[in-house]
Chains A and B, each alone.
Chain A
């Protein structure tokens, strides 16, 4: 097995490390499906996963998944039900961690997956919330994954699909009545950004191997502050890579063909 890895493989490993053993994880689409499978197969054997279309699982499906609704993801499920039951679990504050994919994120962790430009006359129409807004509002903490580009990490998003810490002022989420804790981290193709426990603005926490702080700051649309002592993101371990390639054998999600 090659030790060389793609940016997406590192993102999956970094996302998997956000999952603590015993967590109930609200899994989104794409890379988080892999992140859950890797975490469950390495350091978090007691984690469980909720899928918004109406599934609860423990062990990950032993097959490539193009979507969370592929038949192998139903085999061995702990619960196959309706979407609103799974959302009810989320609304009760029982999901420890959620994952949300993003097109655009800002310094306060607000995500836009709906409209670039004025929503009445959008420059770009993005697919929308899906379950993203629900996860952002109702899960105890959440992590977003996206490609690190200046046009995607912006000072303020033009439309908040999934709220993070709003305008960044202390207590913003509480004033809005949001029950969940908010974003914990942004995992990108270049770095991991992390929010202080009380919320607010994302800081640079670690830079992926082969990249520099200057490069990350240049690709970020606000004056990104660097956490004192910020270091290098550990690359995927041999064990993590084995598991990533077990669940994405052709590199469909982790783009191994482009490496």
Chain B
């Protein structure tokens, strides 16, 4: 069995996400946000990243506050249940901790930008964003012949958290998928973190559910709880209290730095982070709902 792609998050980030990368991360909007991967980017001191995603809950706000980002290409940056992203505001309004270039999109247009790259076409035309000033502030959007041309957006690396994957890099993810498929198809390479590393027989028993072809996947990181505080269907609820605490503490730069030390810089890895949570039991999903198996019979 191939195991060369299985590695720690530390190794995956060190090998495949150099400074200056365009990184799609947080592609499913609220669920399956790869917070563990984001925190490893911060611990390794990545800089100059272009963060790509529709809405990544509060992960982009954390990466911006930690000084990892030079540009953000997104539809919405904030804190989904709490509102404003305080680090995003500080960066955009006063260059703290670093100036930030912003490429605004809508959710639809960023999906189209990723599909354009996935299909190897320079742009896709659409009616969305006609009449919006987003066209004025984002040079990747041009009006021609009465339609908006959304330029292809190709991430160097797309990072996805999924429910299960095998060692060869084949992933099963379920629940709403946001832009995960197009982000993976468009990317130069894909890093997966997963709740469970399973045998290939499990994945290949249901090939319709495989998220992306294995060739692009360069790393598979077994990382249970790697999306906390974001939810994972069948595994984890959303930790609303944790998200609220982040929003309140990140109101000031000093408060954010204390939060960052406590939850990102001090714990060496995800296991240590999870151990800091007082009790993860209430966050684990207990009422399981299994889908009916499908029949791939062939003769």
Q: Give Cα distance in the complex from A68 to B178, angstroms.
A: 12
Interchain CA distance A125-B99 in the complex, whole Å: 13
Best-buried of A126, A159, A162 by chain B (most CB within 10 Å):
A126
Query: Please, which residues of chain B bring their CB within 8 A of the CB of A190?
Result: none
Considering only residues 71-94 of chain B, those with a C-beta below 8 Å from chain A are 74-78, 80-81, 83-85, 88-89, 91-93
Is B293 in contact with chain A by the CB < 8 A criterion? no
B285 lies within 8 A of A71 (CB): yes
Task: Verify if B197 is at the interface (C-beta below 8 Å from A).
Answer: no
B88, B131, B136: the one contacting A178 at CB < 8 Å is B131
With most chain B CB atoms within 10 A of its CB, the pick from A83, A114, A160 is A83
Judge whether B174 and A82 touch: CB under 8 Å.
Answer: no
CA of A29 to CA of B76, assembled, Å: 12
**A177 CB contacts on chain B under 8 angstroms:** 127, 130-131, 146-147
Tell me, in angstroms, the Cα distance from A124 to B180 when the chains sit together.
30
CB-CB contacts of A68-92 with B at 8 A, as 1s and 0s?
Answer: 1111001100001111100100110
Residues of chain B within 8 A of A122, CB atoms compared: 92-93
Contacting pair A54 B108 (CB below 8 A)? no
Q: Report which of B54, B129, B180 forms a contact with A133, defined as CB distance below 8 A.
A: B129
Interchain CB contact under 8 A, B233 and A71: yes
Inter-chain contact B175/A138, CB cutoff 8 Å: no
* A132 to B104 alpha-carbon distance, docked (Å): 12
Complex Cα distance A78/B70, Å? 40
Q: Which residue of A lies closest to B32 (CB)?
A: A69
| Residue pair A131, B75 in contact (C-beta under 8 Å) | yes
Is A82 touching B178 in the complex (CB atoms < 8 A)?
yes
Q: How far is the CA of A233 from the CA of B243 in the complex (A)?
A: 35
Inter-chain CA distance A133–B85, complex, in Å, is 20
**A129 touching B75, Cβ below 8 Å:** yes
- Do A128 and B89 contact each other (CB < 8 Å), given the known contacts A53-B28, A70-B238, A134-B128? no
Q: Which residues of chain A are near B133, meaning CB under 8 Å?
A: 114, 119, 159-161
A239 contacts B by Cβ under 8 Å: no
List of A residues within 8 angstroms of B115 by Cβ: 84
Contact B238 A66 (CB under 8 A): yes
B127 adjacent to A80 (CB under 8 Å): no
B228 nearest CB across to chain A (Å): 14
Q: Which residue of B is nearest A128, CB measured? A: B76
Is the CB–CB distance between B88 and A127 below 8 Å?
A: yes
What's the least CB distance linking A126 to chain B, in Å? Answer: 7
Interchain CB contact (< 8 A) of B127 among A127, A129, A179: A179
Pick the residue among B129, B136, B177, B289 that contacts A75 (CB under 8 A): B289
Residues of B near A54 (CB, < 8 A) are 176-178
Contact of B131 among A67, A71, A126, A163 (CB under 8 A): A163
- Taking a contact as CB atoms under 8 Å apart, the answer to whether B76 and A53 are in contact is no
Question: Taking the complex as formed, is B111 at the interface, i.e. its CB lies under 8 A from any CB of chain A?
Answer: yes
Please name all residues of chain A whose beta carbon is closer than 8 Å to the beta carbon of B131 when the two chains form the complex: 137, 160, 163, 166, 173, 176-178
> B30: which A residues are within 8 A, CB to CB?
53, 67-70
B contact residues vs A (CB 8 Å cutoff): 28-31, 54-55, 57, 74-78, 80-81, 83-85, 88-89, 91-93, 102, 104-109, 111-112, 115, 126-134, 136-137, 146-147, 174-182, 230-231, 233-234, 237-238, 240, 243, 285, 289
Chain A positions near chain B (C-beta within 8 angstroms): 29, 51-55, 66-71, 74-75, 80-84, 87, 90-91, 114-115, 119, 122-134, 136-138, 159-163, 166, 173, 176-179
13 contacts between A and B (CB under 8 A): A54-B177, A66-B240, A69-B231, A71-B231, A82-B176, A84-B115, A90-B108, A114-B137, A124-B93, A127-B76, A131-B108, A162-B132, A163-B130
In the A-B complex, the 4 residue pairs with the closest CB atoms: A69-B30, A54-B176, A125-B92, A127-B78
